[in-house]
Structures are given as C-alpha cells and as structure tokens.
With several copies, the nearest count.
Chain A
Amino acid sequence: MDLSLSETQLMLRKTVEDFIARDANRDKLIELQQTPRGYSDEIWRAASELGWVGMMIPEQYGGGGSDFSTTAVVYEALGKGPVPGPMFSSGILAGQVILQAGSEEQKKQFLPSIASGDIVATLAMTEPDYQWGPAGVRLRPTESGDQYVLNGTKLFVYDGHVADWLIVAIRTGDGADDISLLMVDTKAAGVSARKLDGFTTSESEITFSNVKVPKANLLGKVNGVKAALDRALLYATPILCAYKVGGGQGVFEMAVQYSRDRVQFGRPIGRFQFVQNHIVQLVNHLDAARWTLNEALWKLDTGQDARVGVHLAKTLASEGYRKACDYSHEVHAGTGIMRSYGLTLYTRQSRSLYAALGDPRYHRKQIANLIETIE
C-alpha cells in the first residue's frame, strides 16, 4: 500500500503549476472568461506541446501512453487553475472513443493529430430531448448510397464550437443500444455550431442541415459500438473527475486564505465557527471526491472492475465540486461574487460540469444497478 504520488507524478504536477503561474494565472483567466472562445493560444499550445492533451493516447498513436493515475494528476492540476480549453474533450474523451471504437486505420488517422493538438475533436451525444446515455440518442440519419445524411441537433456538446471533428452518436436501430458513431468534419456543408450562453462554460449547439457523411466515417460497426463507448466513458470519466477535484482544491485554498486575510469584528473571519463550519464541510466534500477517485484510478490501472468506483467518484465529484463552491461562496460573501475576484470561474464550472457525462442521480442509479457486483 502506498497512497503517495510518485516522483514522476509530482514533477508533472509541478510543470502544470509552473505553467499556470506564468500563462494561466487567475488574472489571465479572469480576462479570458470574457472572450468568445474562453481560452488562449498559449494554453492550447502548452497543453499540446507538453503532452497533456495526448497523454492518455498510446505512444504508437503519438500520445504519451500515461496511466490513469498520472493523467489524473495533470488534469487535477489543470482543474485547480481552472485552466479552460478542449484538452479533456479532445485528448481524453474523443481520444478514448476513437481508441476504443475505431479501426486501426482510423486510430492512425485521428489520434496523432489529436495528441499533437493539430485538430480538436469532441463527442456529440446529447440532444435537445436531453437524457444522458445511449438511450437519449435519437438523431436518425437517412441513407443515400454510401453516405449518411444528417438533419437535426446535438446539444450541450462541450467545445463543439472550436472542434474540427465531431464524433456524432446516431440512432441506427430501434433497440436501446442500437447506436453508431460517425466522424463528422465540422467544415462539412450544413454543419453549424453555436456556443451556448448562460451559466455554462463550453457547451455548444450543433445543427446538421442535410450534412452528407461517408459511411466510411463510421467508427466501428453499425449498432456495434455500445461496449466500446461504455469503455471509453469508463476510462474518460475519472479524468473529468480529477479536473473537478482540482477545482474543489482551488476553491478550498481560496477559502482558507480568505479566512486568514479578511477581518471583521476585529478578528480574522476564520476564527468564527460558522466560517469554520463552511470550510470543514467543504474539505469533507473535496476529500470524499478525491479519495473515491484515487481508488477508482488505482482499480483502472491495475485492471480491476472499476465501474462502481467510477460511478461513485463521479457522483461525489459532481456533488462535491458544487458544494465546495457553495461553501467557498459562503466564506467569501460579497467578495466572492465579483467577477474580478476569480471564485466564480470555478462556480460556473461546478454547474456546467455537474451533468457532464451524467449527473449524480444518473451515477447513483448505476451504482444501484451494479449492487451485486460489489465485493
């Protein structure tokens, strides 16, 4: 048993932290949140060149071939920024879907350019009639020779508006799992993308209007990708959790610092037990998310059945990030809601990412479904 990080992992974390201090510190991020795209070229370049985008992609496809735990260390550090950009959407999620569902040829075609940051890909699964999971996929293409024709909408697609390629989940049969995955070039005629405003981060709406896609662009077989997609989600979800745990760590550290700096009634506010209570609850949520995640990562890295562990980690990461932000806001009071302060960078994410890859009720339900598999 050894619950510490390895030397390599500590070094990697340091690299991310140094980058953040220089090119993605809080002041820069506060500026960036006002820009349409939400992230900078510096961020994307560093994430690509330093290998964070492609780190979970195997080396033979141009990636870093990192294990789950090591990847999580980097994404936790990014989440602590919180560093914005399509690193997770493209390098981790889309990368995993292609890796699990694609042919050897497709892997060679897409993965190296995803890893290098030359292209951005993202998974387009959810739809206006929202429901997480394959059952919610209702976009049914028509067929025209060796082409599919798409008409319809994908909604809440993270980073869709900056993507070069979309992995579009389509309905190709009536069974619950009868879905297929189609690589769609966003430059194809009839594809349009719009970033969604609101309490959102990088959610977008993708509209398909008579979009013609060669059937050769299918990832895997028609109606035969469910297992591969499940695997990809199982592998990508904990990395998203790590990003969220990092965010929780960020708002925790801000709260601790503020408890020391802010003086009211002649004392630092951290001496008031009401304030202490907020931070105690915050760190309990944070550590619950952190340690369930750590165990799930270890299970993945050692080839054990990690399904329940990942559902547990995602449940607590979503609930925990949200609660961590709420408690940090209670500590910061008015100061925390000023956009110039930086706390709301996290708050926005805690809401936006709450349901990404399934909300806590979805993941609790999966645990309930898997009760008998728990040893």
Chain B
Amino acid sequence: MDFKPTYTPEQEAFRKEVRSWLEAHVPNVEGDRDSDENYAKYRQLGRDLGARGWLRPTVSKDYGGGGLNFEQSVILYEEMDQYGLGLPPYYDSGGWLGGASILVWGTEEQKQRFLPPIFKGEVVTWQLLTAPEAGSDLAGTKTDAIRDGDDYVINGTKIYVGGSHKPDMLWTFTRTDPTGPRHKNTSWFMIPTDTPGVTIVPMDLLGDGGEGIGASVKNTVYFEDARVSAKNLVGGVNNGWQVATTHLELEHGGGGSIGRNKWFERAVQWSKTEKRNGRPLIEDAEARDRLADIFVLTEVSRLFGLRNYWMNRTHQKMSYEGSQSSYYRKLTGLDITTNLQELFGPASLINGGGFDFSEGTLDAYHRSAITALHPGGTADVQKVLMARRMGLGRDEAEAAGKTVE
C-alpha cells in the first residue's frame, strides 16, 4: 500500500505550477469568509480555476473539466487543502453532485449545455432534496411537476437548501406521476433560479453562521407554478430516482476527501497559546489526554475519507464505505466537540470579544456538529444504507450507486 502518490518529476513540476498559481490567485481574506466581499473573491477563484480545468480536474475537457489523471487531481486537492479550501473553493456541492448525475444520466446535448458552465465555475448550482413532508423518505416528495406543452409546471416546497449567496441554477427531483408507483414516479430537473414562481427564503436554524464559504444560511425554496422546459428533464421521465442514486452515493460520502486533520491541528495550536494557571494548556496532562482523544477520532475520519477518495477515483468496487465515512464523521462530531469543550472550557462556546480565542469557529463547530447529523442523509439513513450494502438479512448485498469521477 501507498498512502501518498509517488510523484514523477513531471508531476512534481505540475505541483510547482499549481503552487505558484495558487499563491497568485487564492485571495487573502480577513474575517468572515462568507461576507459578500469575501464570497465574491472565492467565487472569482472558482472561475479562475475553472478556466484552467482545475475545478473538476479529472472530468473530461469536453465538458469543462481538466482531463487530468488521478495523481494530478491529488496534487490539486493537496495544494488547495494547504489553504483550507476544497474544489470548488466555495459552496457548490450542488454543482458537484448534480454535475455527476448529469454526466451519468444526461443526453449528450444536456451534458454540453449544463456541464461546462458548472465545471468552469461560471455557474453555481444548489441541490434541492429535502421537503417538509419528505426528509429521510426522499422518494416521498410531494413536489409535483406536471407536463404542459413543452414545459413542466412545478409546485411544492423544498427546505434546507443552499446557502447565503443566491445561485444561478437549481436542481431537484419531483413527482411527474403523482399517483404512480414509488421510486418510478419522479423525474430530475435543472431549473434556472430566475424562473418565475421560484422564491427563496432564508430559514432560521441552529447552525446558522458556520465556517463554510457561502454556507452560513439555509433556505426554503417555494415553487408556485414555476415553468421549466422539458429539455431540462435529465435521465428520462419517471426515472428520477435512478438519477438520484448517483448524487446520493456521492453525498453519502462515496466521493471521499483528502485533507489534513483540521480540528486536531487547531486544538494543538490553541493549546499552545491558551493558558491555565499561567502555563500553556498543552503542558497540562489532562489537556494532552483530550488532545489524544481528539486525534484518535479525527484520524479515523481522515483515513475513511482518504480511503473513499482513492476507491472512488480509481474505480474500486464500493460497498458501505461512503455511508460509513459519513456516519462516522456525523457521530464523532458530537464526541469531538465534547472533548473540545472539556479541553478549552466555557471559552469554547463564546463568539466574539477578547476571550473568543477561536474567532467563533468553535461556537460554530459546536452547533454544526449537531446540525450536521442530518443533511446528506441522516445518521440513521447512513446506517440503513450500510446495512443494505453489507446485505444484512439479505441474500445479496445492494450495489453502490453509479458515479463517474
């Protein structure tokens, strides 16, 4: 096994190129990364990366990707991670997930029309999955899209959507045959945000104000007689559930991640500067025990993510690994924040003022550890999926959803 790519001289040269390009292009921001001003800077970085094909490095150039190989993509992720950024460097999981579904299920015309703008960073896309009536039971949606001439007319409501800066496109799946059989009565649509009848209203949630760029707010999206061209229906009529399996697989953690162990690194850093009885916290034995506990939890998460990244990008046959990574991260988030609170005391809850040593990031993490239990499939849903993929109580294990990258 090899946990790091062995780079050829050519690849090392690529790393140098990436590094110096990023040095020149990654914006230097201060304060809230999600302020209008800072968001705009990250948005521009996305466009610049997209123009080079670095936003979706392994996607074919035909669709706006970079056409790069696995090792090159790792280099890009690693170098972005040095800035605490991913690809894309702002909130566009909608584009990442929806793009994957279009790649697998779209017609060639749809791929040409939808993908390059997304993969070049020109267009930001939100995913619309959860509905008031359909949370874990996604297929139970009551948002309906009824054919009318060349269009579909959409009515319904989706919640926990997007972030703090409006996108260009939305995608969702809706009932196109409201009385049809479950899992065979929905279709998947790309919808311009400016479509008449689409209204976006921010929600008031515990997790508001997190660290994610563009992600400090979630919204309710209302569809009232919103008309969408039938050309925007991706993957075939009443085939929406199949199209969804692709992005759900990725959302459930099947895409994996490359990244450092952020919370552990931060905790060590703060333990060197925060003091107890005049001594740096890190000199305290109990504090070191807590750091070790945090390390254990976060390292496992990191390795599950890394394993999945490798499996996904090298087309290994996947089973329960996506949901496992997601479930583990969700559940251990609660333990990690408990350890952080015990380590740093009540100051870890404060947001603002001189004693907020974490600049609000710990407050946000305490809250997001709770809110993160649910999106992208609740912790319980991840367990359901793991059980199916392991074939518990079944003759055969269920196969993972088809993804491309």
By a beta-carbon cutoff of 8 Å, the part of chain A in contact with chain B is 1-5, 69, 126, 128-131, 135-136, 138, 155-156, 194, 196-200, 203, 205, 256, 259-260, 264-265, 267-277, 279-280, 283-284, 287-288, 291-292, 294-295, 297-299, 308, 312, 315-316, 322, 325-326, 329-330, 333-335, 337-340, 344, 347, 351-352, 354-355, 359-361, 364-365, 367-369, 371-372, 374
A198 & B351 in contact (Cβ 8 Å cutoff): yes
In the assembled complex, the Cα of A152 lies from the Cα of B189 at a distance in Å of 61
In the assembled complex, the Cα of A4 lies from the Cα of B299 at a distance in Å of 20
A291 & B366 in contact (Cβ 8 Å cutoff): no
**Binary contact readout B319-363 vs A (1 if CB under 8 angstroms, 0 otherwise):** 010001001100000100010011001110111110110001001
**Given A155-B355, A371-B282, 16 additional A-B pairs, CB 8 A:** A1-B4, A3-B1, A194-B353, A260-B392, A265-B136, A271-B393, A276-B392, A283-B386, A316-B300, A325-B370, A326-B370, A330-B378, A347-B206, A361-B286, A364-B292, A371-B268
Which residues of the partner chain B approach A315 to less than 8 Å between Cβ atoms?
296
Q: Which residue of B lies closest to A361 (CB)?
A: B342
A280 & B383 in contact (Cβ 8 Å cutoff): yes
Which residues of the partner chain B approach A361 to less than 8 Å between Cβ atoms?
286, 342
Given contact pairs A1-B4, A294-B1, A272 touches B370 in the complex (Cβ within 8 A): no
Which residues of the partner chain A approach B5 to less than 8 Å between Cβ atoms?
1
Of B102-110, B221-229, B303-311, the stretch lying at the interface with chain A is B303-311
Which residues of the partner chain B approach A355 to less than 8 Å between Cβ atoms?
341-342, 345-346
B380 & A330 in contact (Cβ 8 Å cutoff): yes
Which residues of the partner chain A approach B130 to less than 8 Å between Cβ atoms?
334
Which residues of the partner chain B approach A265 to less than 8 Å between Cβ atoms?
136-137, 140
Other-chain contact of B387, A264, A276, A326 (Cβ < 8 Å): A276
Which residues of the partner chain B approach A135 to less than 8 Å between Cβ atoms?
277
B296 & A316 in contact (Cβ 8 Å cutoff): yes
Which residues of the partner chain A approach B159 to less than 8 Å between Cβ atoms?
334
In the assembled complex, the Cα of A255 lies from the Cα of B299 at a distance in Å of 27
**Binary contact readout B63-100 vs A (1 if CB under 8 angstroms, 0 otherwise):** 00000001100100000000000000000000000000
B393 & A268 in contact (Cβ 8 Å cutoff): yes
Which residues of the partner chain A approach B299 to less than 8 Å between Cβ atoms?
292, 312
Does B291 count as interface, using CB distance less than 8 angstroms?
A: yes
Please give the distance in Å from A186's CB to the nearest CB on chain B: 19
B206 & A337 in contact (Cβ 8 Å cutoff): yes
26 A/B residue pairs, CB under 8 Å, sorted by A: A1-B5, A3-B1, A3-B307, A129-B276, A196-B353, A197-B352, A199-B363, A200-B349, A260-B394, A271-B393, A273-B387, A274-B384, A275-B380, A275-B393, A284-B324, A291-B300, A312-B296, A330-B373, A334-B135, A334-B160, A337-B206, A351-B366, A359-B341, A359-B345, A361-B286, A374-B264
Please give the distance in Å from A297's CB to the nearest CB on chain B: 7
Please give the distance in Å from B334's CB to the nearest CB on chain A: 5
B292 & A368 in contact (Cβ 8 Å cutoff): yes
In the assembled complex, the Cα of A344 lies from the Cα of B4 at a distance in Å of 39
B289 & A272 in contact (Cβ 8 Å cutoff): no
B residues 143-160 with Cβ under 8 Å of A? 159-160
Which residues of the partner chain B approach A288 to less than 8 Å between Cβ atoms?
300, 303, 328
Q: Which residue of A lies closest to B323 (CB)?
A: A280
Q: Which residue of B lies closest to A30 (CB)?
A: B204
Does B288 count as interface, using CB distance less than 8 angstroms?
A: yes
Other-chain contact of A130, B160, B276, B278, B311 (Cβ < 8 Å): B276
Does B391 count as interface, using CB distance less than 8 angstroms?
A: yes
A129 & B310 in contact (Cβ 8 Å cutoff): no
B353 & A205 in contact (Cβ 8 Å cutoff): yes
Does B203 count as interface, using CB distance less than 8 angstroms?
A: yes
Other-chain contact of B346, A3, A130, A197, A340 (Cβ < 8 Å): A130
Other-chain contact of B345, A130, A360, A365, A367 (Cβ < 8 Å): A130
B residues 183-206 with Cβ under 8 Å of A? 203-206
Please give the distance in Å from A109's CB to the nearest CB on chain B: 31
B351 & A197 in contact (Cβ 8 Å cutoff): yes
Other-chain contact of A283, B324, B346, B370, B373 (Cβ < 8 Å): B324
Which residues of the partner chain B approach A69 to less than 8 Å between Cβ atoms?
1
Which residues of the partner chain A approach B349 to less than 8 Å between Cβ atoms?
198-200, 203, 351-352
- Which of A155, A280, A326, A339 has the most chain B CB atoms closer than 10 A to its own CB? A280
Given contact pairs A1-B5, A129-B275, A365-B292, A256 touches B391 in the complex (Cβ within 8 A): yes
Given contact pairs A298-B3, A312-B296, A368-B292, A374 touches B268 in the complex (Cβ within 8 A): yes
A291 & B393 in contact (Cβ 8 Å cutoff): no
In the assembled complex, the Cα of A307 lies from the Cα of B204 at a distance in Å of 43
Q: Which residue of A lies closest to B360 (CB)?
A: A198
Given contact pairs A334-B159, A351-B366, A371-B292, A274 touches B380 in the complex (Cβ within 8 A): yes
Which residues of the partner chain B approach A277 to less than 8 Å between Cβ atoms?
383
**Binary contact readout B95-132 vs A (1 if CB under 8 angstroms, 0 otherwise):** 00000000000000000000000000000000000100
Which residues of the partner chain B approach A3 to less than 8 Å between Cβ atoms?
1-3, 306-307, 310-311
Which residues of the partner chain A approach B264 to less than 8 Å between Cβ atoms?
374
A292 & B303 in contact (Cβ 8 Å cutoff): yes
Which residues of the partner chain B approach A203 to less than 8 Å between Cβ atoms?
346, 349-350
Does B35 count as interface, using CB distance less than 8 angstroms?
A: no
Q: Which residue of A lies closest to B258 (CB)?
A: A1
A365 & B289 in contact (Cβ 8 Å cutoff): yes
Does B207 count as interface, using CB distance less than 8 angstroms?
A: yes
Does B51 count as interface, using CB distance less than 8 angstroms?
A: no
